[in-house]
Amino acid sequence: MMIVMREDATPEEVERILERLDNAGAKGHVSTGDVVTVIGVSGERDVIAGLPLEAYPGVDKVLPILRPYKLVSREFRNTPTIITVGGTSLGGGHIGLIAGPCSVESREQLLEAAHAAKAAGATMLRGGAFKPRTSPYAFQGLGVEGLEILAEAREATGLPVVTELMDPRHLDDVVKYSDVIQIGARNMQNFQLLSAVGEVDRPIVLKRGLAATIDELLMAAEYIVKEGNDKVILCERGIRTFETATRNTLDISAIPIIKQRSHLPVIVDPSHAAGKADLVEPLSLAALAAGADGLMIEMHPTPETALSDGAQSLDPAQFTRVAARLQAMIAWMGTTLG
């Protein structure tokens, strides 16, 4: 349900609605636009339906939201969400370029990658301190030490840091050292983890699961937003199909579909979709053409020595060349980098 307030509604009238919802065991989520304020309502349907909300002062109309996800839908907020962190923006015509290695392997490796990313025009730095791996014997990341190295790289370059959270027990450390929290594809439906990051003041990159539908991705985002954190960035990173030519199959159609259904920004990870470095550039260009709000690209100083995902990582020279082409396309499209 969505409550549309009148243009002249006062803050006190909005607060009265929120108190009424709270007393009924429901929750109101306020979205303030340029003209009107909208309150999205979540809770038991029968309870909400019985509330005489249209009779309250300041209320213009009460509308149903037909989709199962309420707060992330276009019905709740028709204007695109723009997420700003560390002086750079993403969404609503602002294109993010997130780059860095799959894993933080050492201080030297990460700082070299960070300076190369910055020089090529990246707007954020990515790097995994906690790494989910298919094999329990593969490199699992440096943990808190990796987070400390990421924070050092941020100080050296000014790039906001994006890193993955796998376990709610690590949440405080990840919040302390990073600027954007990533929820990986394997954890897209880890609802306890989603609710936990919904309670922190950090943008969240939510990756689509290997076999998740678009609606399931949006429902996962709803878990985060309903806890109060509406700074969610959706990430298409390829889904598992019968095709074996690539690591995963990049679902380009997901980009315009998500933007039709949701106000949240959507980015693309061409590295994990392709699994091959030579496919990163064409998939990145295709993603921008389809309307993506950003890209997350893996780049390693020496991909041949990488402890994870070396085959899909660009080296600094390759990334510099690809970034130049992407920036030319961003300018041609009339959008801006960061």
DSSP string, 271-320: HHHH-SGGGHHHHHHHHHHTT-SEEEEEB-SSGGG-SS-GGGPBPHHHHH
If one compares 113 and 69, the residue with the highest pLDDT of the two is 113
pLDDT at 254 over 90: yes
| pLDDT value at residue 133 | 66
pLDDT at 258 over 90: yes
| pLDDT value at residue 131 | 72
Q: What percent of the chain has pLDDT over 90?
A: 78
What phi, psi does 290 have (nearest 5°)?
-80, -5
138 pLDDT tier (thresholds 50, 70, 90)? confident
Cα–Cα distance for residue pair 74/65, rounded to 1 Å: 10
Q: What mean pLDDT is predicted for residues 66-83?
A: 90
Q: List b or e across 116-137, with b for residues whose CB sees 16 or more CB atoms inside 10 angstroms.
A: bbbebbbbbbbbbbbbeeeeee
Cβ atoms 275, 311 nearer than 8 A: yes
Class in CATH terms, 2-63: alpha beta
**C-beta pairs of 311-317 under 8 Å, 24+ apart in sequence:** 311/275, 311/276, 311/277, 312/247, 312/271, 312/272, 312/274, 312/275, 312/276, 312/277, 312/280, 313/101, 313/102, 313/271, 313/277, 314/277, 314/280, 316/112, 316/113, 316/116, 316/120
Strand partners, 142: none
pLDDT digits (tens, 9 = 90+) for 181-239: 999 999 999 999 999 999 999 999 999 999 999 999 999 999 999 999 999 999 999 99
- Scanning 106-213, the segments in alpha helix (DSSP H) are 107-120, 144-157, 171-177, 191-197
Closest C-alpha among 233, 286, 227, 183 to residue 71: 227
| pLDDT value at residue 40 | 86
Q: What mean pLDDT is predicted for residues 252-266?
A: 97
How do the domains of the chain map onto residue ranges? 2-63, 83-337
pLDDT at 318 over 80: yes
43 pLDDT tier (thresholds 50, 70, 90)? confident
If one compares 289 and 21, the residue with the highest pLDDT of the two is 289
Mean pLDDT lowest for which of 30-34, 243-247, 249-253, 274-278? 30-34
Q: Which amino acid is at 280?
A: V
pLDDT at 42 over 90: no
pTM of the model: 0.89
- Give me the chain's average pLDDT, please: 94
| pLDDT value at residue 285 | 98
pLDDT digits (tens, 9 = 90+) for 140-178: 789 999 999 999 999 999 999 999 999 999 999 999 999
Strand partners, 42: 27
CATH of 83-337, one of 3.20.20.70, 3.40.50.620, 2.60.40.10, 3.30.530.20: 3.20.20.70
Cβ atoms 330, 292 nearer than 8 A: no
If one compares 294 and 64, the residue with the highest pLDDT of the two is 294
Q: What mean pLDDT is predicted for residues 45-67?
A: 83
Cα–Cα distance for residue pair 285/323, rounded to 1 Å: 10
Q: What mean pLDDT is predicted for residues 280-295?
A: 98
